[in-house]
Amino acid sequence: MTTQTVEYIRYRIPETQSAEFLAAFTRAAAQLAAAPQCVDYELARSEEDFEHYILRITWTSTEDHIDGFRKSDLFPDFLAETRPYAANTDEARHYKPTSVRGTGASVPSLYDWAGGADAFARLTDVFYAKVVEDDLLGPLFADLPAEHADHVALWIGEVFGGPAGYSEQQGGHGHMVAKHVGKNISEPQRRRWVELIQDAADEAGLPTDAEFRSAFCAYVEWGTRLAVYFSGPDAARPAEQPVPRWNWGAAPPYQG
């Protein structure tokens, strides 16, 4: 489970100081951008009351913020720019995300864009029909259970923003990782997996627009490379995590 924390700092800045305030925080942002403990940040201004601002900073953890960033060489310059507005602060607290989260419908999920459960069922049916006949991958899946394609369809569907069917029925990310332990998947096998699932996506009628295929291929590369790692002899099992949720953008680098 992620340890990220979100710091909210609320300011009340008189209109006469707003330009100076924004300039100071623009300079301070350079220190946040250079901090490995900082995930992202944003300064927002109220539309209803122009004197109200909220600075949101996502940290890798509260400890990384306090014991890392605040003790780093970056902090003095950050503090020099922001300290003059300490008296204008209404709140400065760290918040942990809860399970209540999601996205609206302004942008469809990859799951919906692809065509939902039926699309991913077609994908895995076509894909595993290819796999069992493939000289390179066939031996790896010699004892393939009849329900395997259905389970992978649930997994990909959940990853792409669909229902949590895999988590509810199979046990989430840890269960998927366990399926690869000890398999010793080779790089040629990984590349063939990537090739065949892209062919299967074409044959199963998944969307061919550049945006969807970019996200699809990015996930396939990410997922297969993790599979190779976890199948190896020196892999460290990760802490239990939820199923990853893919979107139209890119994922951050995997750091264990």
Please give the Cα distance from 229 to 214 (Å, whole number). 23
Q: Helix H segments across 132-183?
A: 148-159, 165-170, 173-178
Helix axes 187-203, 210-231, angle to 10 degrees: 150
Q: Helix H segments across 143-237?
A: 148-159, 165-170, 173-178, 187-203, 210-231
Do the Cβ atoms of 65 and 7 come closer than 8 Å? yes
Nearest Cα to 178, choosing from 95, 235, 220, 106?
235
DSSP 128: H
Torsions phi, psi of 148, nearest 5? -60, -45
Q: Is 148 marked as binding a ligand? A: no
Nearest Cα to 157, choosing from 169, 149, 165?
165
Q: Is 175 marked as binding a ligand? A: yes
Annotated binding site: 151, 175
Annotated binding site for heme: 151, 175
